[in-house]
Structure 1
Amino acid sequence: MVNLEQANELLAEFNAIANTKKHQPFDKNDPLKVGVDLGTSSIVLAILDQDNKPVYGSFEFAEVIRDGLVVNYVEAVQIVSRLVREAEEILGVEIESAATAIPPGTVGNDKKIVSNVLESAGLMVTTVVDEPEAAACLLGLTQGAVIDVGGGTTGISVIENDEVVLTLDEPTGGTHMSLVLAGYYGISVAEAELLKRDHDQEKTNFIIIKPVVDKMAAITERMLEQHPIEPLYVVGGASFFEEFAPTFSKYLGMVVERPDYPQFVTPLGIAKASGDSKYAE
């Protein structure tokens, strides 16, 4: 059973930490759980204690990932290295290992290169988990589906009896929202990305990008036709619009929940998974 209130408390705490870079008290003698999320629009470092409480977090906006693939390897390594060094200085501990995540269905060299980024930054990779599965780990979801709306893709993991039984990933995400805004206003994609994050313009922007959200809901609908299941949880940075989950619910004709600070659900889930033997490689 998902305790959404408890998850939201953790997310709010992590959001405050990541935006101030002030760590919570922790025992330096205890191992930490570290997760690195290589996202399309940002790279997030999440650190939890052994009780899965947020200790430290940070992020840096970046354009090193496209449609789930690393397109700027050198910059990705530089950013991860920078975030880790900063965390070590603030926490006063050495960070030697971390977990990371990939979109569902990523295989071969595309999967390996994500691990290579962390290894080139001096980290031993403990775990590589699917992004929606990481989100389910944070939420404690043992039955249902997670729709992870990232920058480049919409990934879905169906979970039954605490096991992932179906995954899919479609190339529709936050980047497509930015493309629609850029076309509508006649501005660059970079300008549209900043406009998309402007909460003062959220209601107007959502009306413009709603067809993209409907397409994401249609992807979910096709999955449900293949494998009916509930409850449904939507996460990921592109789902931050207040009308996002209600739009999904209306399209699908069923309740779709969205945690607070959805951009941090997967990073925290990655860190949590790093200490779970179920996910260990």
Structure 2
Amino acid sequence: MVDLQKANSLLKEFNSIVNTKKCRKFNKNEPLKVGIDLGTSSIVLAILDKNDAPVYGSFEFAEVIRDGLVVNYVEAVQIVSRLVRDAEEVLGLDITEAATAIPPGTIGNDKKVVSNVLESAGLEVTCVIDEPEAAACLLNMTHGAVIDVGGGTTGISVIEEGEVVLSLDEPTGGAHMSLVLAGYYAITVPEAEVLKRDKSKEKTNFIIIKPVVDKMAAITQGMLAQHPIEPLYVVGGASYFEDFVPTFSKYLKMPVERPDYPQFVTPLGIAKASIRTID
């Protein structure tokens, strides 16, 4: 059973830490867990204590991932290195290892490149898991489905008895919203990305990008046709629009829930799922 209230409390605390750029008090003699989420629109660093409480977090906007694949390796390494270095200064300790995640179905060299980014930044990789699986880990989900609406893809993991029984990933995400906005307003994609985050224009922008949201819901509907299940939880930065969940639920004709600060669910889940810890 998902404890959404507990998850939202952790997410709220993590968001506060990220915004203040300060760490929460922690025992330096106890191990910490580190997760790094290489997203399409940003790279997020999350650090938890041994009880999975947020200790430190930071992120940097980036365009180094496209549809789940690393397209600018050098910049990705530079950003991860910068985030780790800043964290070390704030925490007063060395960070030598971290967990990370990939879109469902990523295989072969594409999967290895994500690990290589962390290794090139001087980190040992403790764990590589699917992004929706990481989100399910934070939510303590043992039954249901997580729809991870990222910058480049919509990833879905179906969980039964605590195990992932079905995973899929389709190339429709926040980047496609930006493309639609860019075309509608005749502006560049980077300009559209900034416009998409403008809360004062959210209502108008959502009407324009609604077909992309419908496509994400259609992907989910296709999964449900193969494997009917509930409850459904949607996470990921592209789902932050106020009308996203009502529109998603209406399309599917079934309830969908979304944690607070959905952009941080997967990064925190990655850290929580880390097999080993840093000292």
Scaled to the shorter chain, the TM-score interval is over 0.9
How far is 1:261 from its partner? 0.4
1:192 maps onto 2:215 in alignment: no
Matched, 1:147 2:143: no
Shift of 1:265: 0.2
Amino acid in structure 2 at the alignment position of 1:21? K
State the shift of 1:19 in Å.
Answer: 1.4
User: What do the CA deviations read for 1:169-226 (whole angstroms, capped 9, x no partner)?
Assistant: 0000000000100111111111000000001111110010001000000000000000
**Aligned match of 1:19:** 19
CA distance in structure 2 between the aligned counterparts of 1:200 and 1:260, rounded to whole angstroms: 19
Give distance in 2, aligned partners of 1:155 and 1:221. Answer: 13
Q: Secondary structure at the match of 1:29?
A: coil
Contact 2:42 2:62 in 1 (8 A): yes
**Residue 251 of structure 1 aligns with which residue?**
251
TM-score (norm 2): 0.98
Q: Distance in 2 between matches of 1:223 and 1:276?
A: 33
Equivalent in the alignment of 1:269: 269
Give the TM-score normalised by structure 1. Answer: 0.97
The CA distance in 2 between the partners of 1:119 and 1:276, in whole Å, is 16
| Contact 2:33 2:276 survives alignment (8 Å) | no
2:86 alignment partner AA: E
Question: Deviation of residue 147 (structure 1)?
Answer: 0.2
**1:99-114 matched pairs, under 5 angstroms:** 99-114=99-114
Question: What is the aligned-residue RMSD (CA, Å)?
Answer: 0.9
Rounded to whole Å, the distance in 2 between the matches of 1:96 and 1:182 is 40
Query: Is the Cα contact below 8 Å between 2:138 and 2:272 reproduced in 1?
Result: yes
Cross-structure match for 1:2: 2
Identity %: 81
Structure 2 portions without partners, runs of 5+: none
Work out the CA distance in 2 between the residues paired with 1:228 and 1:161: 15
Q: Which runs of 5+ in 1 are unaligned?
A: none
Distance 1:174 1:249 in 2: 18
Tell me the distance in 2 between the aligned counterparts of 1:208 and 1:79. 32
Cα distance between partner residues in 1 of 2:109 and 2:20? 36
**SS of match in other structure, 1:19:** helix
Q: Which amino acid aligns with 1:64?
A: V
Partner residue, 1:129 = 129
Work out the CA distance in 1 between the residues paired with 2:276 and 2:164.
15
Per-residue CA deviations over 1:148-171 (Å, capped at 9, x if unaligned) read 000110000000000000000000
How far apart are 1:20 and its partner, in Å? 1.4
SS of equivalent residue, structure 1 residue 211: helix
SS at match of 1:181: helix
Superposition pairs of residues 66-105 of structure 1, within 5 angstroms: 66-105=66-105
- SS of equivalent to 2:215: helix
CA distance in 2, matches of 1:39, 1:217: 21
Paired with 2:244 and 2:276, the residues of 1 have a C-alpha distance of: 31
Alpha-carbon deviation of 1:232? 0.2
The residue aligned with 1:181 is: 181
Letter in 2 for 1:157: S
Q: How much has 1:65 moved relative to structure 2?
A: 0.3
Map of 1:217 onto structure 2: 217
1:53-107 per-position Cα deviation (integer Å, ceiling 9, x unaligned):
0000000000000000000000000000000011001000111110000000000
Q: CA separation in 2, counterparts of 1:21 and 1:40?
A: 22
1:275 Cα deviation after fit: 4.0
Report the Cα distance in structure 1 between the residues aligned to 2:220 and 2:157, rounded to whole angstroms: 10
Number of matched residues?
Answer: 277
Equivalent position of 1:34 in the other structure: 34
Distance in 1 of aligned mates of 2:19 and 2:70:
25
